[in-house]
A = this chain, B = another copy of it.
């Protein structure tokens, strides 16, 4: 579809569309937008490419995007490739030293590198960072039984701020580190939340494989487009929000309390979903904000 349009596009129509985007451009000018990149968008080459273009364009129209990513599927694939079998405790994978080593290689050396390279192919603006750089993500053991899985104890945002001040895009792999130099695998949603809070970002956007908060999880048309913290808490209470959505909604609430302007749960499976959300009136996904009362 996209191709069909672009081929025959009338220049005047182009101009018209650009002008329609202007109020959105204006609204988010200078805004720090932390994007947690994950799910299918990360593994489908087409969606990956769309994502890179979206982030690049966001930068070019004046936003200051910060990309935070994990890489669960890619880590799993590499564990399989080297024949590493994992122990599980209560159904959760234990991160032993070898698993951590592979996780770091995959997150920093592969996933992060791919994102940085895809962005820089459009212009030299992305810098790959990991939570170990300048001790950005200070961490400690989250749960002894899970091995080197870390909980963030403090974010040192200076390096991210300096990268933004250089007008560049920080792309952050979520490896944490403690003062002894021990590294930890950090949940990327947690890292994005903590980073957005430390930057007092204007927006925190989670890209995942669901449409947003659904009133009826089986019915995509039951999407709730806007929630206040209060109404989100109600939905958590009555278990309308359940399963994997619970930690994401809690992360949103927590970051709003740390000063983030608004949080968004959007569907990374939709091509160019970031631009749709930020520069059109399409209204994809769920936005959670502090209520007005």
Interface residues of A (CB under 8 A from B): 1-2, 5-6, 9, 11-22, 25-26, 29, 53, 56-57, 60-62, 78, 81-82, 101, 104-110, 112-113, 116-118, 120-130, 132-135, 156, 159, 162, 166, 168, 175, 177, 179-181, 183, 271-272, 275-276, 279-282
Contacts and interface: CB of A to CB of B under 8 A. Distances in A.
Given A6-B16, A135-B124, A183-B117, A11 B280 contact: yes
Contact of A12 (B120, B159, B272): B272
A120 B134 contact: yes
Looking at chain A's contact residues, the main secondary structure is: helix
Contacts of A281: 11
B108 A106 contact: no
A168 B135 CA distance: 12
Given A1-B12, A113-B108, A168-B134, A22 B127 contact: no
Contacts of A81: 82
A196 to B, nearest CB: 21
The 4 closest A-B pairs by CB, nearest first: A109-B109, A121-B181, A105-B109, A11-B282
A60 B57 contact: no
A179 B122 CA distance: 8
A100 to B, nearest CB: 11
Given A25-B60, A109-B107, A110-B105, A133 B128 contact: yes
B132 A113 contact: yes
Contact of A276 (B12, B275, B282): B12
Nearest to A277: B11
A131 B133 CA distance: 16
Nearest to A283: B11
Given A134-B127, A175-B113, A12 B2 contact: yes
Given A105-B105, A108-B112, 9 more contacts: A6-B16, A18-B275, A25-B57, A26-B60, A105-B109, A108-B128, A109-B109, A124-B135, A126-B134
B18 A57 contact: yes
10 contacts: A12-B272, A14-B20, A14-B21, A18-B275, A22-B122, A101-B110, A108-B112, A109-B113, A120-B133, A124-B135
